[in-house]
Amino acid sequence: MKAMQIAEGVYWVGAIDWNLRNFHGYETEKGSTYNAYLILDEKVTLIDTVKEGFAEEMLSRIRSVIDPAKIDVIISNHAEPDHSGCIPAVLEVAKNAKVYAAAGAGQKDLAAYYGDIGCIGVKAGETLSLGKRTLTFVPTPMVHWPDNMVSFMTPENILFSNDAFGQHYASDERLDTECDLPEAYIQARKYYANIVQPYGMQTAKALAACANLPIQTICPSHGIIWTKHIPDILALYKSWTSNEYDDTAIVVFDTMWHSTEAMAHAIENAFLACGLKPRLYNLHYCHNSDVIADAMTAKYIAVGSPTLNNNMMPSVASFLTYFKGLTGNKKKFIAFGSYGWGGQSPQQVYDQLTACKAEALLPAIKIAYKPSEAQLEQITEDVVTAIKAAN
Ligand code: FEO
């Protein structure tokens, strides 16, 4: 397999994972790439590696330009195994290569995974001369692990940003100028929502730390490389880290005999009446990670579950657990659901959403067996009244 040159002496030597469909619970319907970058200078340098199992693909791309045994430096911007997994394989062939990672967390994490590999710690603002080029290291802790850092290379002004600005998007095109750009933005949003969103404050700090760098290329560790559209992806990140709302409202539910579904539509009607753009997700058909991507910028979320054996349905419990771990902005919520007897689920949903630091618009809504037309109209009216009162 071949390396792809992205600047004079700078190559993409990563791996394309066309088959990836799940990244620890995140549905990756477009696969992914693990991006590693090779710099030919007095010190031959590899920025990150690839996931274990893809070593030969990466090494063959490196071999297409240089003998991998000549690698002098490995920069580990992030120890998560999708990027560090092949450090041992590279050290196997590049016996004298030195590994650099964030001082403290990066060294600790790499030692936990791979034992003593003599990792050298680098601190904020520290530089490493490669010959004609210099790398400057900028820690970006909790974007999205404690060890994360980015590396900025002059004189080409390339930011190796690791997970930041990435997308789970397998493609043979490497650049934003040649890929399916709308798809790249969709996947960048989904990536941010599912990976980075809980760390919006830390990401905003990382953006500020990089704000004065004259970035000409952003090379993330997943997906396509940003060249022409850097202002656009930076603007999107600024908006996402600012927890800005749009005019969508999310209705998430599961249903047994369509009663909770009918209630979902009554709430949809209320959102429409308030000038919002409702989006409905039946969890029987929709994946949590897609709902999260859409929910990120919504101000309102309604979550409904029938009562099943004194509990909410497992699909709704799964969604709420996922939502609790990821939600970045503060939403206003509605909990609802139908029941035959018992009827515990709407209050359980209410309590879970309260634990997500969301704010209830009104008490949990519950209807026995099948809602009548009058009850559905009442739900719509109550939700409209609650939204107007909250604004
Ligand atoms: Fe792509 Fe946090 O690893």
Using a 6 Å cutoff on CB, does residue 133 contact ligand 1? no
The answer to whether 82 is a known catalytic residue is: yes
Alpha-carbon distance of 145 to 331, in angstroms, equals: 25
The answer to whether 222 is a known catalytic residue is: yes
CB 138 within 8 A of CB 124: yes
CB 77 within 8 A of CB 36: no
CB 169 within 8 A of CB 187: yes
Q: How far is the CA of 249 from the centre of ligand 1 (A)?
A: 30
Q: What is the pLDDT of residue 357?
A: 84
Atom index in ligand 1 nearest the CA of residue 144 equals 2
The answer to whether 72 is a known catalytic residue is: no
Q: Is 60 exposed, middle or buried (0-12, 13-18, 19+ CB in 10 A)?
A: middle
The token pair that represents 162 in the structure block: 């690791």
Specify the amino acid at residue 246: D
Query: pTM of the entire structure?
Result: 0.96
As a residue count, the chain comes to 391
**DSSP H or E stretch at residue 290:** helix 288-295
The helix, strand and coil proportions of the chain, stated in percent and rounded to the nearest 5, come to 35, 25, 40
CA trace torsion 62, 67, 73, 78 (10° rounding) = 30
Using a 6 Å cutoff on CB, does residue 222 contact ligand 1? yes
Q: What is the pLDDT of residue 362?
A: 97
Q: What is the pLDDT of residue 179?
A: 97
Specify the amino acid at residue 282: N
Q: Is 278 exposed, middle or buried (0-12, 13-18, 19+ CB in 10 A)?
A: buried
Q: What is the pLDDT of residue 252?
A: 98
The token pair that represents 359 in the structure block: 């704010």
CB 290 within 8 A of CB 322: no
Cis peptide bond prior to 287, omega within 30° of 0: no
Look at ligand 1, atom 2, and give the residue with the nearest C-alpha. Answer: 80
Q: How far is the CA of 89 from the centre of ligand 1 (A)?
A: 19
The token pair that represents 172 in the structure block: 């043979």
Q: How far is the CA of 298 from the centre of ligand 1 (A)?
A: 26
Look at ligand 1, atom 1, and give the residue with the nearest C-alpha. Answer: 163
Nearest to 67 by CA among 98, 95, 87, 48: 95
Q: How far is the CA of 293 from the centre of ligand 1 (A)?
A: 18
Look at ligand 1, atom 3, and give the residue with the nearest C-alpha. Answer: 80
Q: Is 159 exposed, middle or buried (0-12, 13-18, 19+ CB in 10 A)?
A: buried
Q: From its phi and psi, is residue 311 left (phi > 0), alpha (psi between -120 and 50) or beta? A: beta
Q: What is the pLDDT of residue 81?
A: 98
Using a 6 Å cutoff on CB, does residue 382 contact ligand 1? no
Q: What is the pLDDT of residue 93?
A: 98
The answer to whether 83 is a known catalytic residue is: no
Nearest to 149 by CA among 139, 136, 161: 139
Nearest to 167 by CA among 143, 193, 145: 193
The answer to whether 229 is a known catalytic residue is: no
Using a 6 Å cutoff on CB, does residue 78 contact ligand 1? yes
What's the first-to-final CA gap in the chain, in angstroms?
A: 58
Q: Cα 129 from chain centroid? A: 32
Q: Choosing from 34, 48, 78, 114, which is the catalytic residue? A: 78
Domains of the chain as residue ranges with CATH: 4-241 (3.60.15.10), 246-390 (3.40.50.360)
**DSSP H or E stretch at residue 150:** strand 149-154
Q: How far is the CA of 346 from the centre of ligand 1 (A)?
A: 36
Per-residue pLDDT of the chain (391 residues; tens, 9 = 90+): 999 999 999 999 999 999 999 999 999 999 999 999 999 999 999 999 999 999 999 999 999 999 999 999 999 999 999 999 999 999 999 999 999 999 999 999 999 999 999 999 999 999 999 999 999 999 999 999 999 999 999 999 999 999 999 999 999 999 999 999 999 999 999 999 999 999 999 999 989 988 889 999 999 999 999 999 999 999 999 999 999 999 999 999 999 999 999 999 999 999 999 999 999 999 999 999 999 999 999 999 999 999 999 999 999 999 999 999 998 889 999 999 999 999 999 999 999 999 998 999 999 999 999 999 999 999 999 999 999 999 8
Q: What is the pLDDT of residue 210?
A: 86
The answer to whether 78 is a known catalytic residue is: yes
Q: What is the pLDDT of residue 15?
A: 98
Q: What is the DSSP string of 46-114?
A: EE----TT-HHHHHHHHHTTS-GGG--EEEES--SHHHHTTHHHHHHHSTT-EEEEETTHHHHHHHHHH
